Amino acid sequence: MRNRSLVADYLRRAEHRLAAIDVLHERASWADVVRESQEVVELALKAALRHAQIEVPQVHDIGGLLLEHIDRLPAALRRHVPRLAKISKNLRRDRELAFYGSEDLTPGEFYEKGDADEARSDARWVVQVVCEAVRTAG
């Protein structure tokens, strides 16, 4: 956890992926917007954990870890932790389904514009909140 440049790298990559999400959204690829939004949220939240020098597990939903270590997170982030954890959990639930589907679910038919709009909006908000908190905390 000594590699502090990973925090900046995670956030930079999350911001680049937000631009990619916009392209997917313009093409009405709703399932892909949901899947990529989950990855953006995961990168941003893992940047917040690394910034707080909290061990980053190789799992996709780290909302519980944010709640567990709320006192170690940047002060500007703490008030947002319940919402951050909820977004992480919700998008994690859709991660594989939006990508692979299942025998009874085809992602391109299941996910709708409203799902994509919410996922994209949540991803943008998470990146914004984490970037501001990290920048303010130094």
- Name all domains of the chain by residue range, CATH numbers in brackets: 5-137 (1.20.120.330)
Helix or strand holding residue 9 (H, E): helix 5-26
What are 84-103's pLDDT values in tens digits?
A: 999 999 998 887 888 788 88
SS3 of 92, please? helix
**What's phi and psi for 80, nearest 5 deg?**
-95, -5
What is the b/e burial string over 67-84, where b = at least 16 CB atoms within 10 angstroms of the residue's CB?
eebeeebbeebeebbeeb
Contact 47, 129 (CB under 8 A): no
Question: What digits encode the pLDDT tens for the residues 100-120?
Answer: 888 888 988 999 999 999 999
Lookup result for tokens 């690394």: 50
Residues 35-48 pLDDT 10s = 999 999 999 999 99
